[in-house]
């Protein structure tokens, strides 16, 4: 979550303090009151310090979880050779099937896909919560890929989750979906 080399103290010195000083100068220039400018700049600084401390506390908690072996976030790296846009059921949103060379496929379902920039792509990294399976975000890592339209429908059972890993091939997708969701 945090880039290497970052810390609360560094963020405060390189971001919070300069922004607070600029806010003080601007507010003083408008109000001509040191007291008003000082109070507003101090409130901004305290808010930013509290935010930084909370963020880095969460980062520390996640690192502890990773070291103890109880990961909260699963990362799935995908390199797709082909992508099908299959028929979703109802207004659940798009349904995309990404095929890998190893006979595996990743089925993504939901309106959350519409919010992903530069997507779909040939390569991407999907992060999801381990306990719920809910997607967090997608990082596109390759060029855009042409999506093939398919009349195949999403099985009813697939609506339970937004992310599915299945064994499937483009030529036998309908049978593979029926087998996976039986």
Residue 38 has pLDDT above 90, yes or no: yes
Our CA angle for 54, 56, 61, nearest 5°, is 95
Structure tokens at 171: 């030529």
Task: Tell me how far apart the terminal alpha carbons of the chain are, to the nearest angstrom.
Answer: 38
Q: Which range is most confident: 23-37, 60-74, 78-92, 110-124?
A: 23-37
Structure tokens at 68: 């103890």
DSSP class of residue 162 equals S
Contact 164, 141 (CB under 8 A): no
pTM of the model as a whole: 0.58
pLDDT at 157: 67
Average pLDDT of the segment spanning 72-93:
81
The span from the CA of 136 to the CA of 74, in Å, is: 10
Residue 16 has pLDDT above 60, yes or no: yes
Angle formed by the axes of helices 34-68 and 17-31, nearest 10°: 160
Structure tokens at 46: 């305290």
17: exposed, middle or buried (Cβ count in 10 Å: 0-12, 13-18, 19+): middle
What residues contact 6, with CB distance under 8 A and at least 6 apart?
none
């Amino acid at each position: 979550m945090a880039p290497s080399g970052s810390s609360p103290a560094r963020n405060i010195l390189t971001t919070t303090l300069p922004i607070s000083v600029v806010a003080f100068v601007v507010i003083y220039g408008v109000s001509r009151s040191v007291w008003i400018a000082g109070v507003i700049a101090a409130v901004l600084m305290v808010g930013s310090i509290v935010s930084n401390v909370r963020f880095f506390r969460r980062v520390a908690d996640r690192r502890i979880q990773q070291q103890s072996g109880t990961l909260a976030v699963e990362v799935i790296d995908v390199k797709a050779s082909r992508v099908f846009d299959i028929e979703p059921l109802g207004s659940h949103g798009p349904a995309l099937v990404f095929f890998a060379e190893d006979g595996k496929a990743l089925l993504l379902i939901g309106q959350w896909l519409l919010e992903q920039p530069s997507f779909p792509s040939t390569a991407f990294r999907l992060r999801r919560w381990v306990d719920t399976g809910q997607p967090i975000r997608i990082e596109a890592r390759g060029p855009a890929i042409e999506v093939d339209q398919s009349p195949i429908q999403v099985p009813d059972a697939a609506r339970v989750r937004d992310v599915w890993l299945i064994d499937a091939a483009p030529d036998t997708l309908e049978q593979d979906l029926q087998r996976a969701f039986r």
